[in-house]
Amino acid sequence: MLISEADEPNIKELTKMYGAKNDEVQLPMDFQIADVNKLSAPDFRKLLDEVENNPAHDQPHYFFSNHDQPRTWDRYGDGVHNDQIAKLMAALLLTPRATPLMYYGEEIGMRTTPPTRKEDVQDPIGKIGWPEEKGRDGERTPMQWDTSKDAGFSTADHTWLPIPPSAAEYDVAVESKDPHSILSFYKRLLELRQSEPALRNMRVFGPRRS
């Protein structure tokens, strides 16, 4: 099964990635949903309907976060209800009839942490565009496992990108102990997805409709 990073302008163009004889990409990524960048039920509903009913009648595949854009916690959060909004985005990712793509750290509410000094920038885009463009380092910081050195990610003297201060609160170990955490909510959603055929059993790949 092939997944493609297909940044097409609309569902009509994205559908072409599936091919005419089931001989191209099975799961082209739908960037339209990831680019909404605001909490808008009508916008999400419209795009989810479009990708689910794509002209190729094939499996929808979408995401909200990746390594090229700020994390959902920052793009959709309001600064007051960020954790609740992170859970809302989790439900929107894991309950529609589609193949979801989850970016690491989404499940614990990791924050975008851009560099504050040019000399700390690793991303070439940030080095060229500083300070207007700080690059993509902020959404690529190490996974936050626990409260030990480097958030349990590495034993090296220095990591390629720094560990955000928020790792002390938003990490796997801390959230695993809290039944109300973002991670615990993701776990319950995944259990629901596994137990409910309507969420788990989606389209079966096979011959296309003529």
What the block records as the tokens of 12 is 């009509």
Looking at residue 197, what is its pLDDT?
83
Looking at residue 159, what is its pLDDT?
96
Looking at residue 210, what is its pLDDT?
42
Looking at residue 24, what is its pLDDT?
84
What the block records as the tokens of 36 is 């909404």
Q: What's the Cα-to-Cα distance from 44 to each of 16, 136, 175, rounded to whole Å?
A: 22, 25, 28
Tell me the per-residue pLDDT of 124-172, one tens digit each, with 9 for 90 and over: 999 999 999 999 999 999 999 999 999 999 999 999 999 999 999 999 9
pTM over 0.95: no
Backbone φ, ψ for residue 20 (5° rounding): -90, -20
Tell me the per-residue pLDDT of 12-37, one tens digit each, with 9 for 90 and over: 999 999 876 667 898 999 999 999 99
- 98 vs 94: CA distance, rounded Å: 8
Looking at residue 79, what is its pLDDT?
94
Domain coordinates of the chain in residue numbers?
1-105+180-210, 112-169
Tell me the per-residue pLDDT of 169-198, one tens digit each, with 9 for 90 and over: 999 999 999 999 999 999 999 999 999 888
Q: What's the Cα-to-Cα distance from 111 to each of 1, 70, 105, 114, 209, rounded to whole Å?
A: 31, 8, 8, 9, 43
> Is the backbone peptide bond immediately before 131 cis, with ω within 30 degrees of 0?
yes
Q: Which fold has domain 1-105+180-210?
A: TIM Barrel (3.20.20)
